[in-house]
Amino acid sequence: MSDDHDDSPIAARVRELEAALEEKGLLDAQELDRALEAFTNRASPANGYRVVARAWTDEAFKARLLENANEALPELGLSMGGGLQVQRLLVVENTESVHNVIVCTLCSCYPLSLLGPSPTWYKSPAYRSKVVSHPREVLEQFGLTLPAGTEIRVWDANAETRYMVLPRRPEGTEHLSEEELAARVTRNGLIGTAAV
C-alpha cells in the first residue's frame, strides 16, 4: 500500500479501496508501487516543454494539440495515462489579447505527466481561491504584469480534465531549434503564472 498520508476524504477512500482490493487478492501492493514509481519517474515538466516547442515549430501539430491534446500527445511518445483512468487534457493558447492560467479549486488536479510534480503554491488554498477572484493580482505577485486590455481566462481543472497553457512564442526565436525552444519554456509558463 502507498505510504502517502494525505488526510483528504478522497485519499482516505483510495486507501480503503486499496486495502479491500489487497484483501481480496485483486491488487498486489508491490506491483502498484512499482507502477506508480515508474509513472512518476517519467513525469517531468520537460515533457510539457517538448510539447510547447513542437507546437511552436509545427503549425499542424499545434492545430491537432489544440483540437484534441490526448490524440496529439502520442506523436511525441506522451500520454495522459498512468493512473487508474486517462484524464482529458485541454491545451489553451495564450494570444496577444488572451492570457490563460490554470488552477484546481477543489484540490490540486494537475497534468503531472506533462508538468512533473505540482509546485507547493499550486496546492495552497490562497492560490486556489484568489486566482479565481483576482487573477491579475495573483499574476502580478508572480511578477507577471499584463496590459490592462488583456483578457485573463482561469481554467479550473478537475478529476476528469486537466489543462496546460500553450504560452506565446518569444519574439526573435525563429532561428532556434525545437530543442533550444524547449529549453526556454518554464513550468510556470505551462500553468500560466509566467510568460515565456
Fold type of domain 43-191? Nitrile Hydratase; Chain A (3.90.330)
Cα separation of 173 and 192, whole Å?
20
Cα separation of 165 and 55, whole Å?
12
How far from the centroid of its chain's Cα atoms is residue 154's Cα?
14
Q: What are phi and psi of 101, to 5 degrees?
A: -140, 145
For this structure, is 108 an active site residue?
Answer: yes
- What digits encode the pLDDT tens for the residues 142-167? 999 999 999 999 999 998 899 999 99
Confidence of residue 4 (pLDDT cuts 50, 70, 90): very low
For this structure, is 129 an active site residue?
Answer: no
Cα separation of 13 and 16, whole Å?
5
The C-alpha cell at 59 is 503549425
The C-alpha cell at 35 is 507502477
Domain parsing of the chain, residue ranges: 9-41, 43-191
- What digits encode the pLDDT tens for the residues 67-112? 999 999 999 999 987 555 678 999 999 999 999 999 999 888 989 8
pLDDT at 6 > cutoff 70: no
For this structure, is 104 an active site residue?
Answer: yes
Average pLDDT, the chain: 88
Q: What are phi and psi of 162, to 5 degrees?
A: -115, 160
Marked catalytic residue, from 104, 113, 124, 133: 104
User: In this predicted structure, what is the pLDDT of residue 84?
Assistant: 56
Marked catalytic residue, from 2, 44, 97, 107: 107
